[in-house]
Structure 1
Amino acid sequence: MALRKILTQGDEQLLKRSRKVEKFDARLHTLIDDMRETLENSGGVGLAAPQVGVLRRVVVLLDVNQEPEEMVELVNPEVVEQSGEQRIVEGCLSVPGVYGYVTRPTWARIRAQDRDGNWFEREGEGIVAQCFCHETEHLDGHLFTEKVEEYVDIEELQREDGEEGEPE
């Protein structure tokens, strides 16, 4: 496994639509393994292949609602159902230091394939539903900044909430 460089806003790769994965081979497994390691090293909760310069429909994310947290691998994911609404502070590994309020569903179901090509569905609430939507938008060349309703100063927000850490 290897750490991959996370591309940042301004890189044209982030604005391109990713291609469907059709080969479930060792090369795909290496990409997924590298993305897992990169995400674990980043402090984020989700990472899409375009963020590491690979235009394929692959996402890894942490299901923080599981105990212990579970790393989820999604190949060719699509959000198939969603409900509710939450206005939440969001950030992105590809837009470091920028945070803003976005509206996302409170619950979402995603359909995807695993690293071997088997189809499955998974549900998520709260930050996991948010992450499903955020990461699949990366696969279509979109950044969360397109959805920001109001930018926030994260340090000021943390002082008001009395919390440590950064929202992802």
Structure 2
Amino acid sequence: MAIRIIRTDDDPILRKKAKEVGNINDRLKVLIDDMFETMDASYGVGLAAPQVGILKRVITIDDNAEENNTRMYMINPVITRKDGSDVCREGCLSIPGKQGDVERATDIDVSYENLNGEKLEMNAKDFLARIIQHEIDHLDGILYTDRALQMYRIIDQDEDLGEEEEI
């Protein structure tokens, strides 16, 4: 496993649409392992393959805020249903020092594949649903800043909550 470099918002790869994974192989398993290691080292809750320079439809998630601590990956994820709506603050490993208020669905169904090529479905609510939507946006070349109702610059990241200013 290896920690990969996270691409930032000025990198054009983040604006490209990722390609569907057709061949599930050992290289894909290494990518997923590396994505988990990179996400963990950066204290993230989600990571999409384009964020580490790979234009494949793969995301990793670690929703440590949920009681069941959902830690998983998704290959070729597709949201099949959305319901509800809520505006919450989001940040992104590819856009350091900023956060934004983003409206997203609060209840989604998503289909995806695992490393065995099996097609799976799941329902996600609240924060987990937000993470999945954020990461799937990355697969389509969309950054949360494109959807943000209001953006904020984080002034003091040393504090737990940090200070912020509107931008």
Q: Could you tell me the TM-score, scaled by structure 1's length?
A: 0.89
- Which amino acid is the alignment partner of residue 164 of structure 1? D
Whether 1:54 aligns to 2:54 is yes
Whether 1:74 aligns to 2:74 is yes
Report the equivalent of 2:111: 111
Shift of 1:68: 4.6
Matches within 5 A, 1:142-153: 142-153=142-153
- Which amino acid is the alignment partner of residue 42 of structure 2? S
Shift of 1:29: 0.3
Report the equivalent of 2:160: 164
Matches within 5 A, 1:95-134: 95-134=95-134
- SS of the equivalent of 1:93 reads coil
Runs of 5+ unmatched residues, structure 1: none
Q: Which has the higher helix share?
A: 1
Shift of 1:70: 2.8
Q: Distance in 1 between matches of 2:147 and 2:137?
A: 11
Matches within 5 A, 1:13-24: 13-24=13-24
Report the equivalent of 1:63: 63
Whether 1:36 aligns to 2:36 is yes
Identity, % of aligned pairs?
Answer: 39
Would the aligned equivalents of 1:100 and 1:151 in 2 still touch at CA under 8 Å?
A: yes
Q: Distance in 1 between matches of 2:37 and 2:119?
A: 24
Shift of 1:152: 2.8
Would the aligned equivalents of 1:47 and 1:60 in 2 still touch at CA under 8 Å?
A: yes
- SS of the equivalent of 1:27 reads helix
Which deviates further from its counterpart, 1-10 or 144-153?
144-153
Q: Distance in 2 between matches of 1:130 and 1:67?
A: 16
Shift of 1:164: 3.1
Would the aligned equivalents of 1:108 and 1:132 in 2 still touch at CA under 8 Å?
A: no
Q: Give the CA RMSD over aligned residues.
A: 1.9
Q: Could you tell me the TM-score, scaled by structure 2's length?
A: 0.90
The CA deviation string for residues 14-49 of structure 1, in whole angstroms up to 9 with x for no partner, is: 011110101111000000010011111111110000
Aligned length: 161
Report the equivalent of 2:137: 137
